[in-house]
A = this chain, B = another copy of it.
């Protein structure tokens, strides 16, 4: 695919056009300059057109076989690679994230698309089941066959903090396409140019693969009107969102108030507790502290899996941990944050922690200049943490709170009182094993991913990943947004009883033309 320039256009069906609602510009947070061209939001007529095209595309798109659908996902990846230089430079300018990060994220994004191509070819996700008729039984059993079918057109909201991997061509879009759902993306207003470039890569793949034009659309809108209208549209059957608690819960409410409520998969807020056990601190406290500092400041602290809470026991060697973190942070230059709004919210959050009489400010990194994220670590007692819920609120950026617990019982109470989390990490040594066994069920009930001797900031894209967790880390802890299991969020089971073979979906026909794994009369195939 040829390199493309940003035109400031939305993509609806096979066409591209500038919006006609309020206009806005992208902003370079490093240089603090406005970026050309201007963009303009869509109207309710644009929403209607995108939804009508998506509804018309649904049946033909879902009828595609595994090869056609996998080829489409791979074509998107190839097109993204074809326009990599334009995407990388535009994404760097729009987000302030460094080149190595953006190139890595592009690789992850194309890797996700190819993972879902593999998932589609594999066919296990369909969970196809056949129970043959038993005409001799009393009462006779009908022929009954089940397969998972796509929900319908879905809306994906791009996230601010991963302009590629959780945005236009990101995980939700890839998993929804893999499931057979047309996708309408509402671009994040902070990286509209990156969104347009990624959107054009998808639009081109739709055309090259001969898919219906409504398979994909990209809309802009600087306020909430377009997003709310998309979620409220009766043709839309599911929503993927990564962003704030306020934004996610607002969309949940819209979805629940529809005549037909629909699922919303919102990834919202998480402080990702890290438990440091005494043996681990005694053995390698300073090294854990240094690794923590790296995780805390990764991407200017703008990861959903950022370690915002550290739990340790009084009397254990937290001093070595703090010293290790302090030493590492002293070497760091503060990194640019994504937007002025995010930077401002971070400053307000940190100022509130500084002003809170319960906290001690144990590490304050280089404050830097401009829209940067100064690394910060505060310390509180467990009593104070539990007495003041503001201390467990997410501060999006490189700030964390170290909590000293009197004993293991209090540590468990703190964990039990936490809200649902994406991740929970625990650092252990051989001498900590009894304590871990005791804590583990508590951590597991609170998080979608439990990790040992590390930090949750890296989210591997693989079969076994869960990037999800109990509310409010996500709206629906039964689902993951990363990894191959993410396809399940866009599916529902449908069963066919006594259907003539020729009228069954190919996945359930006797000849199994697509060679999908099936459970037949109780036996796994």
Interface status of A96 (Cβ within 8 A of chain B): no
Query: How long is the Cα–Cα vector from A476 to B238 in the complex, in angstroms?
Result: 12
**A144 CB contacts on chain B under 8 angstroms:** 460, 462, 464-465
Once A260-B471, A491-B478, A496-B450 are accepted as A-B contacts, the answer to whether A460 and B124 lie under 8 Å apart by CB is no
With CB as the reference atom, state the residue of chain B lying closest to A119: B522
Interface status of A244 (Cβ within 8 A of chain B): no
**A483 CB contacts on chain B under 8 angstroms:** 146
With CB as the reference atom, state the residue of chain B lying closest to A146: B464
Most chain B beta carbons < 10 A, residue from A131, A146, A260, A502: A146
B419 touches A499 (CB 8 A): no
B497 touches A452 (CB 8 A): yes
Most chain B beta carbons < 10 A, residue from A447, A463, A519: A463
Query: How long is the Cα–Cα vector from A452 to B142 in the complex, in angstroms?
Result: 10
**0/1 interface trace, chain A 470-483, chain B, CB 8 Å (1 if under):** 11100111111001
Interface status of A135 (Cβ within 8 A of chain B): no
Most chain B beta carbons < 10 A, residue from A437, A444, A497: A497
**A454 CB contacts on chain B under 8 angstroms:** 142, 497-498
**A444 CB contacts on chain B under 8 angstroms:** 149, 494
Interface status of A129 (Cβ within 8 A of chain B): yes
B492 touches A478 (CB 8 A): yes
**0/1 interface trace, chain A 13-33, chain B, CB 8 Å (1 if under):** 000000000000000000000
- Which of these, B263, B449, B517, contacts A524 with CB under 8 Å? B517
**0/1 interface trace, chain A 239-265, chain B, CB 8 Å (1 if under):** 000000000000010001000110100
**A436 CB contacts on chain B under 8 angstroms:** 503
Query: How long is the Cα–Cα vector from A462 to B492 in the complex, in angstroms?
Result: 17
- Which of these, B452, B477, B519, contacts A500 with CB under 8 Å? B452
Once A256-B256, A470-B260 are accepted as A-B contacts, the answer to whether A463 and B129 lie under 8 Å apart by CB is yes
A485 touches B493 (CB 8 A): yes
Docked complex: A115-163 residues within 8 A CB-CB of B: 118, 124, 127, 129-131, 139, 141-142, 144-146, 149, 151-152
Interface status of A451 (Cβ within 8 A of chain B): yes
**A470 CB contacts on chain B under 8 angstroms:** 260, 492
A466 touches B494 (CB 8 A): yes
B263 touches A448 (CB 8 A): no
**How many residues of A are counted as interface, with CB atoms below 8 angstroms from the partner's CB atoms?**
75
B498 touches A464 (CB 8 A): no
**0/1 interface trace, chain A 485-518, chain B, CB 8 Å (1 if under):** 1000001111111111011000000000000010
**A476 CB contacts on chain B under 8 angstroms:** 263
B478 touches A59 (CB 8 A): no
With CB as the reference atom, state the residue of chain B lying closest to A419: B260
B524 touches A460 (CB 8 A): no
**A260 CB contacts on chain B under 8 angstroms:** 419-420, 470-472
A497 touches B450 (CB 8 A): yes
**A139 CB contacts on chain B under 8 angstroms:** 458
B441 touches A59 (CB 8 A): yes
Query: How long is the Cα–Cα vector from A256 to B264 in the complex, in angstroms?
Result: 13
Interface status of A7 (Cβ within 8 A of chain B): no
With CB as the reference atom, state the residue of chain B lying closest to A493: B466
Query: How long is the Cα–Cα vector from A141 to B151 in the complex, in angstroms?
Result: 33
Interchain Cβ contacts under 8 Å between A and B, 18 examples: A118-B522, A131-B465, A142-B458, A142-B460, A144-B465, A146-B466, A146-B485, A252-B256, A428-B500, A433-B502, A436-B503, A448-B494, A450-B495, A451-B496, A452-B496, A456-B497, A463-B519, A517-B524
Q: A144-B460, A252-B256, A478-B491 are in contact. List 12 more A-B contacts (CB 8 A).
A: A139-B458, A144-B464, A146-B466, A260-B420, A436-B503, A448-B492, A449-B496, A450-B495, A452-B497, A464-B495, A465-B495, A478-B492
Interface residues of A (CB under 8 A from B): 59, 118, 124, 127, 129-131, 139, 141-142, 144-146, 149, 151-152, 252, 256, 260-261, 263, 419-420, 428, 433, 436-437, 440-441, 444-445, 447-454, 456, 458, 460, 462-466, 468, 470-472, 475-480, 483, 485, 491-500, 502-503, 517, 519, 522, 524
